[in-house]
């Protein structure tokens, strides 16, 4: 007897859930639903590409360890990396630019931040940094030569 009652209660709850879900779909989308839809659209625009936000603090610490930067140098590169990330996010969000214009602006932002980062580094650190970038290019299959400064 209890099993039968439990089955009936569960059936009624499931039916109520279905009805609520159907009536909820006719309402205006919530902020969360709109944000999710916007992310999905952005994902479709960049199909096959991953864009994740870089944490400037973690990136500065990572560079500091790899290049043996002083704590003062790490403190100096954090705002450079933060500014670069902010510019990159704004560029990704800018739908007014063509793909080629975005690519050119992307490279310009990268080159500008690279120059600012290298201004903080010693000659030996710059050389290590260049080697690091070259290894990254090779890993990504982009055997491009670094642009002249």
Domains of the chain, residue spans:
54-149
For 98-123, the pLDDT digits (tens) are 999 999 999 999 999 999 999 999 99
Q: What is the mean pLDDT of each run of 10 residues along the chain (149 residues)?
A: 61 56 48 42 45 80 93 95 94 92 94 95 94 89 55
Predicted structure pTM score? 0.59
Contacts of 143 (CB under 8 A, 6+ apart): 137
Write 52-61 long-range contacts (CB < 8 A, 24+).
53/85, 53/89, 54/81, 54/85, 54/88, 56/81, 56/82, 56/84, 56/85
């Amino acid at each position: 007897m209890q099993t039968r009652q439990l089955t009936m209660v569960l059936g009624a709850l499931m039916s109520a859930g279905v009805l609520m879900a159907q009536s909820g779909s006719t309402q205006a989308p919530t902020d969360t639903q709109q944000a999710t839809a916007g992310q999905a659209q952005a994902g479709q625009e960049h199909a096959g590409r991953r864009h994740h936000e870089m944490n400037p603090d973690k990136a500065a610490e990572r560079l500091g360890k790899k290049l043996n930067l002083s704590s003062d140098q790490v403190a100096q590169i954090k705002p450079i990396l933060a500014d670069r990330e902010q510019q990159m996010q704004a560029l990704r969000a800018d739908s007014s630019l063509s793909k080629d214009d975005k690519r050119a602006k992307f490279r310009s932002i990268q080159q500008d931040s690279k120059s600012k980062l290298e201004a903080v580094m010693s000659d030996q650190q710059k050389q290590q940094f260049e080697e690091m970038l070259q290894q990254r290019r090779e890993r990504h299959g982009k055997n491009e030569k670094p642009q002249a400064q």
